[in-house]
Amino acid sequence: MRKDSVSYTMAVAAGVCIVCSLVVSTAAITLRPIQQRNAELDRKRNILLAAGLKEPGERVDVEALFEQIETRVVDMRSGRFTDAIDPEMVGEPQYVTPLPDQQDPAGIRRRPDYQVVYLRETNGRLDRLILPVRGRGLWGMMHGLIALDRDMNTILGLIFYEHSETPGLGGEIDSDWWRDQWEGKQAFDQQGRVRIEVVRGTVPPDAPDAEHKVDGISGATFTARGVSSLVRFWLDDWGYGPFLEHMREKLSEPLGEHHGANEP
């Protein structure tokens, strides 16, 4: 075959295509398990971060630290733990309830009937809960985790690990200064109503109810409002409200009657 013929050029081009596609598909297949492992590691790292068991940027053995965390599925209607649903199945279309607009301040449209939650017990005693939350920001869905202390009221942390808010504006929701404010805030008032909110501007330290309020982000009022709405939604009746109520009752039982909070 002559080197300057059309068929030679076509044969070389076809050969290059075949070799390249083989390289790309081999790479995709061999890298997939590594990608999955990294995604799983990232999920665990975020849970530890929300729980306050790891500092941002701190190098720790994530797998070892995560051994303290227990993963459970909660039936969102009854507020009880269930083993009937595999954690992988949570969020499947047959297990969601459409939300009417007036019940959907977080803009999620469908509330999962089951949710995966994370618990940490020390000496057989529940010491914190980590709950996945999500809701609409200005540009798209914001995915986060909120950690609550054993009293089911004190916030230990709120992090957002996935969102499309603008860096420097709404994107400040994952900055340390904003994240740090959440620690120690009280989600509920004495009557058990959800009170936590993000305000416009800053919260004066002597403001009444300062324990329920978090500073806004300047130039990001929409994002901040989205965070406020989603946190309130997930802690309320259509979110984890029934589960938190059940846990409060359980943990107020006299010692000895319950082991951790962990049985149904």
Ligand X SMILES: Cc1cc2nc3c(=O)[nH]c(=O)nc-3n(C[C@H](O)[C@H](O)[C@H](O)COP(=O)(O)O)c2cc1C
Identify which of residues 115 and 223 has a Cβ nearer to ligand X in the complex.
223
Measured over the CA atoms of residue 206, residue 212, residue 214 and residue 220, the dihedral's sign is negative
CA–CA separation, 6 and 263 (whole Å): 74
What minimum distance in Å lies between the beta carbon of 205 and ligand X? 21
Q: Can you state the percent helix, strand and coil of the chain, rounding each to 5?
A: 35, 25, 40
Stretch that binds ligand X, among 12-20, 84-92, 163-171, 227-235 (CB under 6 A): 163-171
* 214 phi and psi angles, rounded to 5 deg: -125, 140
Edge-first strand order for the sheet with 69-75 is: 80-82, 69-75, 114-122, 125-136, 141-149, 155-162
CA–CA separation, 218 and 202 (whole Å): 9
What minimum distance in Å lies between the beta carbon of 161 and ligand X? 16
Site for ligand X in 166-195 (CB under 6 A): 166, 169-170
Structure tokens that stand for 246 in this block: 């059940």
229 touches ligand X (CB under 6 A): no
Give the interface size with ligand X as a residue count (CB under 6 A).
11
Stretch that binds ligand X, among 26-34, 114-122, 214-222, 244-252 (CB under 6 A): 214-222
Identify which of residues 85 and 199 has a Cβ nearer to ligand X in the complex.
199
146 touches ligand X (CB under 6 A): no
What minimum distance in Å lies between the beta carbon of 49 and ligand X? 22
Which positions touch ligand X (CB under 6 A)?
A: 138, 165-166, 169-170, 218-223
